[in-house]
Amino acid sequence: MAKWYAAEVGVKVVDSALQLHGGYGYIDEYDISRFYRDAKIVEIYEGVKEVGKTCYRAPPGQKDRSLFEEE
């Protein structure tokens, strides 16, 4: 659960920073482009995005108190 949360927050923070930099955020001369690539790799490589969401759901027959569904 902590791995999933850390990966998601990392991507959100770096995405906001990338938006702040605009087009310059994609140029390799700026560190933000590396930060964005690294954050996405952590999210994908760790396999926490979809697999983690599936593993943390309630067992069949119990009410699903999923933290992952947006309200």
DSSP string, the chain: -HHHHHHHHHHHHHHHHHHHHGGGGGSTTSHHHHHHHHHHHHHHHTT-SHHHHHHTSPPTTS----SSS--
Q: Looking at residue 71, what is its pLDDT?
A: 46
More confident residue, 39 or 57: 39
Is 46 part of the annotated catalytic residue set?
yes
Give the pair of three-digit tokens for residue 57: 């759901």
Provide the pLDDT confidence category of residue 59 given band limits of 50, 70 and 90: low
Q: Of residues 29, 46, 69, 70, which has the active-site annotation?
A: 46
- What pLDDT, in 10s, does the model give residues 6-51? 888 899 999 999 999 988 888 888 899 899 999 988 888 776 556 6
Please say if the pLDDT value at position 57 is more than 70: no
Give the pair of three-digit tokens for residue 19: 């938006």
